[in-house]
Amino acid sequence: MSRFAKPSQRDIARLAQVSQTTVSMVITGKAEAIGISYDTQERIRQAMRELGYTPNVAARSLQGGRNGLIGVHTFEPVFPVSADDYFHQFLVGIEQMAVELGQDLVLFASTQGADGTRSIYRTGVNRLNLADGVIMLGIEKNDSEVARLRAEGYPFVLIGRRDVAGVPFVTTDYVEAAGAVVDQLVSRGHRSIGYLARPLDTSPQNERREGFRERMSARGAITVFERFVEPADLVSSWLRDAMASGTTAIVVENYELIAALDSAASDVGVAIPEHLSVVCLDWGAHDLNGAAWSHLSVPRRELGRRSVAVLMALLEGEIGPDHAEVVPCELPGSATIAAPRSGLGADSGSRLGPR
Amino acid sequence: MSRFAKPSQRDIARLAQVSQTTVSMVITGKAEAIGISYDTQERIRQAMRELGYTPNVAARSLQGGRNGLIGVHTFEPVFPVSADDYFHQFLVGIEQMAVELGQDLVLFASTQGADGTRSIYRTGVNRLNLADGVIMLGIEKNDSEVARLRAEGYPFVLIGRRDVAGVPFVTTDYVEAAGAVVDQLVSRGHRSIGYLARPLDTSPQNERREGFRERMSARGAITVFERFVEPADLVSSWLRDAMASGTTAIVVENYELIAALDSAASDVGVAIPEHLSVVCLDWGAHDLNGAAWSHLSVPRRELGRRSVAVLMALLEGEIGPDHAEVVPCELPGSATIAAPRSGLGADSGSRLGPR
DNA sequence: GAGCTGGACTAATGCGTATTAGTAATCATT
DNA sequence: AATGATTACTAATACGCATTAGTCCAGCTC
């Protein structure tokens, strides 16, 4: 244990023949203001180098100071096995900005229990307060913990959520993005657009649907063929009905439904995008998958970057606890968007391949 | 910002009409041993509930010496852009074990300068010190910094390197692995095996070559056709010579050379593996690439896991600073290994595709 | 030569906790 | 009635740091 004893300010003070106070002054940059001579300052810095001194995080945060640590907490494991994990890009962004701002990152792994779930207060201890502040991300919510954290006045920022009052957040504008998808389809000539989703659940889903509906009616006189299904229920008959009723484009809520739609399309003999344009609103982390479909994507890297900046601003008192940062969504490419051409085609293979 | 100060043990003590010491005893479970009456304990617990008490980690670790933080340091950014980044699997393993051992992870981002390189002592201060210990990984070495760190007596573990005396490391057994490759080829019937590498450089390369040579001679009477080249220099003529001299299998040092060999093979008209078995010794992070070649792979996840365990053991004083942990390599699959059949084939496409 | 000013520091304190060394009261033993 | 043991606590301290309130001394003024 004593083998790894770390030098303290007192050790430095001893070596440099000054008091611990003076050392602290030099470290916190208040030396000039107080009036410590240049010689003494150099002597102290030399001693620090010699002993390899680093401030003790615990002690620092104990008495209220900053320690340059930014926490990252998710309610799921941070590095799940799959390489194209959804969180990866967020972390890339977070790390980038941390580098730029000279902060270090703490990944709270200790909050995970044997059951795989993560809970801030699992052990009855809030480990988070070791860091200056925390960025929280994750699909699973744990509202009671978030509320408690907020009540404690602990500084943190949410990524992707906007539903907790009094907590700054960084998110993407789903309403606008869904509207932009409508614009894109309408400007290509589509008038009858279907909307395919699972039964409603999360707020992003609600926002996307809202954005879709609003823009549809704003663009006027457009038929909407809306359907909420579970993937397994998506039978080809639905698609056949949609095509028969003149639908030329379908907006699809998520990736899983794309797969279902793809197979239905090849059943029914509909060529995408020749006979049916398709846009996906939530592509998840499937960016790397070969088949290219037009889809919105959450600017995960950018959200990660912003979250760090927002947290720092919060710590600096530059923004209030109700700060909202909304980053535009990345709009879909034209892979599966074409001008409408009604009717069924003869040869229409699957874009995703067999299975 | 109506931030309420978090209750401390003293607040509880006041409410429960006892001393702070008693509260601490109850919390740490030493109450029984010391002999605090049941009534008093209940009174204290009630007070804790009432005030919503949570222990302060900082204060705890302040007097305990440890803070439960394990540092991770690389000389490159931890989360580079590509999702199949080489570090990812190490991190997955590190996180897994951190979860199991209840430790948190610190990613040192602040050590990166504007030029993109990372240096522990960049700021003149050893930030690493804020963690209980550090796991260092990375291809680029920065020997002087590592040496200095060691000289300071700072506890850390190296992944993938074994060349710094007095520092525990976790690595994979390249000598044995290269030998196993020879075994595998010989047992399939190969007698004349080529070895293709770039000019020697790193110690892993040396170990692999050594393992190859030793096992080759141990297996007796086997011709080795060895060649060290830069990728650009790998002309088809070399392969033609090798085939002409009866070589039926080639052991290739790394992924880049595989690409070169692949195109040479299709130039020369050699079918892999029908006419030439190929095994790659260092597949890097290309696991996700479509084409399947027989190759060794570094058990990155497992190395990550072990490194955390080793660091903890080091901190506990259970192992010495010269501890070596060697994990077996993952042996190649049979994708490009076949029984030898001499001669050139007519139709032999590229396994990697055009380019 | 008493009082003042400013430069260059230091002693003392508190943050929240765990631990060590007590204390004070009751009870049991001889 | 004195001694010892047990019960149920508490006072004091240390951890490493930042901060507040000084101290000490040289140089200057009137």
Angle at B156 between CA B150 and CA B157, to 5 degrees: 115
Q: How many CA atoms lie within 13 A of B347 on its CB side?
A: 0
Which pLDDT belongs to residue A83?
47
Provide the pLDDT for residue A5.
78
Distance CA B299, CA B90 (A): 9
What share of chain B has pLDDT > 90, as a percent? 32
Confidence of residue B353 (pLDDT cuts 50, 70, 90): very low
Candidate from B109, B126, B153 with C-beta closest to A99:
B109
* Closest residue to B83, CB basis, from A88, A121, A130: A88
pLDDT tens string A254-301: 888 888 888 888 888 898 889 999 999 988 777 655 568 999 988 999
In B, minimum Cα distance to A88 occurs at B83
Which nucleotides on strand D sit less than 7 A from a protein beta carbon?
A: 7-12, 14-21
Residue of B3, B89, B107 lying closest to A107 (CB–CB)? B107
Per-residue confidence band for B230, with pLDDT thresholds at 50, 70 and 90: low
DSSP string, B194-229: EEEEPSP-SHHHHHHHHHHHHHHHHT-S-EEEEEE-
Exposure letters B77-111 (e unless 16+ CB within 10 A, then b): bbbeeebebbbbbbbbbbbbbbbeeebbbbbbbbb
- Tell me the chain A residues in contact with residue B84 when contact means C-beta distances shorter than 8 Å: 83
- Who among B61, B65, B88 is closest to A83 (CB)? B88
The enclosing H or E element of B302 equals helix B300-316
User: Which positions in chain A touch B89 (Cβ < 8 Å)?
Assistant: 83
| pLDDT exceeds cutoff 50 at A226 | yes
Average pLDDT, chain B: 82
**Residue-level pLDDT at B5:** 64
Per-residue tokens: A330 = 């990345």
Task: Assess whether pLDDT exceeds 60 at residue B354.
Answer: no
Q: What percent of chain B shows pLDDT beyond 70? A: 84
Q: Assess B200–A contact: CB distance below 8 Å, yes or no.
A: no
> What pLDDT is stored for residue B347 in this prediction?
45
Interval B92-106 mean pLDDT = 91
- Strand C neighbours with CB under 7 A? A 17-22, 25, 34-37, 39-40, 59, 62-63; B 5-6, 8-10, 20-21, 24-25, 27-28, 30, 53-56, 59-60, 62-64
- The DSSP line for A250-313 is EEESSHHHHHHHHHHHHHHT--TTTT-EEEES--TTGGGSSS--EE-B--HHHHHHHHHHHHHH
pLDDT in tens, B19-58: 999 999 998 888 888 888 898 899 999 998 888 888 888 8
The answer, for A67 touching chain B at a CB cutoff of 8 Å, is yes
B105 chain-A contacts, CB cut-off 8 A: 106-107, 109
Q: Residues near chain D (nucleic strand), Cβ < 7 A? A: A 6, 8-10, 20-21, 24-25, 27-28, 30, 53, 55-56, 59-60, 62-63, 65; B 17-22, 25, 34-37, 39-40, 59, 62-63
Given CB atoms, is B244 within the 8 Å cutoff of chain A? no
pLDDT tens per residue, range A315-341: 888 899 899 999 999 998 888 999 987
Instruction: Using a CB–CB cutoff of 8 Å, tell me whether B335 touches chain A.
Output: no
* Nearest residue in A to B3, CA atom: A153
Query: Which residues of chain A neighbour B109 with C-beta distances below 8 Å?
Result: 95, 98-99, 103-105
- Which among B218, B210, B217, B291 has a CA at the least distance from the CA of B253? B210
CB atoms within 10 A of CB A21: 12
* pLDDT tens, position by position, B162-218: 888 899 999 999 999 999 999 999 999 898 898 888 777 777 888 899 999 999 988
Spell out which residues of chain A touch residue B57, defining contact as CB-CB under 8 Å: 58, 125-127, 129-130
* Protein-contacted positions of strand C (CB under 7 Å): 7-12, 14-21
Q: Which nucleotide is nearest to A26 (CA to C1')?
A: D18
Give the confidence band of B288 by pLDDT, cuts at 50, 70, 90.
Answer: low
Distance (Å) from CA A15 to C1' D25?
Answer: 24
pLDDT for residue A71: 93
Q: Which pLDDT does position A18 carry in this prediction?
A: 93
Nearest-CA distance B188 → chain A (Å) = 34
Structure tokens at B257: 């050379």
CA distance A179 to A195: 13
Q: Is B130 on the interface with A (CB under 8 A)?
A: yes
Is B168 within 8 Å of chain A by CB?
no
The residue of A67, A70, A75, A105 whose CB has the most chain B CBs within 10 angstroms, and thus the best one to mutate to test that interface, is A105
How much is the CA Rg of chain A, to the nearest whole Å?
Answer: 27
pLDDT at residue A26, rounded to an integer: 92
- H/E segment holding residue A171: strand A169-172
> Residue A209 in contact with residue A200, Cβ under 8 Å?
yes
**Omega prior to A273 cis, within 30 of 0:** yes
Q: In chain A, which residues have their Cβ closer than 8 Å to the Cβ of B81? A: 92
> Which of A35-44, A124-133, B221-230, B280-289 holds the top average pLDDT?
A35-44
Give the H or E element holding residue B104.
Answer: strand B104-107
Residue A212: closest CA among A188, A255, A184, A180:
A180
Report the range out of A197-211, A315-329, B124-138 with the highest average pLDDT. A315-329
- Judged against a pLDDT cut of 80, whether residue B141 lies above it is answered with no
B229 touches chain A (CB under 8 A): no
**What is the structure's pLDDT at B136?**
92
Chain A interface mutation, best of B53, B60, B99, highest count of A Cβ atoms under 10 Å: B99
Do B109 and A129 lie within an 8 Å CB cutoff? Answer: no
Q: What is the mean pLDDT of chain A?
A: 84
Least confident of A44-53, A197-206, B301-310: A197-206
Contacts of residue B2 in chain A, CB cutoff 8 Å? 153
Q: Which helix (H) or strand (E) holds B304?
A: helix B300-316
Q: Which residue has the higher pLDDT, A1 or A195?
A: A195
- pLDDT at residue B123 in the model: 60
Does B153 sit within 8 Å of A69, measured CB to CB? no
CA–CA gap between residue A316 and residue B207 (Å, rounded): 52
Mean pLDDT in residue range A149-168: 87
| pLDDT of B1 | 36
What pLDDT does residue A354 have?
42
H-type alpha helices, chain A: 9-16, 20-27, 31-34, 38-51, 57-62, 86-101, 143-151, 174-187, 203-218, 236-244, 255-268, 300-316
The string of pLDDT tens digits covering residues A290-311 is 568 999 988 999 999 999 999 9
Beta strand B277-282 pairing with B69-74: unpaired
The reported pLDDT for the residue numbered B101 is 92
| Distance, CA of A341 to CA of A278 (rounded, Å) | 13
List B residues 279-308 in contact with A (Cβ-Cβ < 8 A): 288
Measure CB to CB from residue B92 to each of A79, A102, A103 and give the nearest one.
A79
List domains and CATH numbers for chain A: 2-54 (1.10.260.40), 69-172+301-327 (3.40.50.2300), 174-295 (3.40.50.2300)
DSSP B35: T
> Taking CB atoms and an 8 Å cutoff, what residues of chain B touch A81?
92
Direct distance between the N- and C-terminal alpha carbons of chain A, in angstroms, rounded to an integer = 58
Q: Separation of CA B26 and C1' C30 in angstroms?
A: 37
The alpha carbon of residue B122 is apart from the nearest alpha carbon of chain A, in Å, by: 11
Kindly indicate the confidence band of residue A110, based on its pLDDT and cuts at 50, 70 and 90.
confident
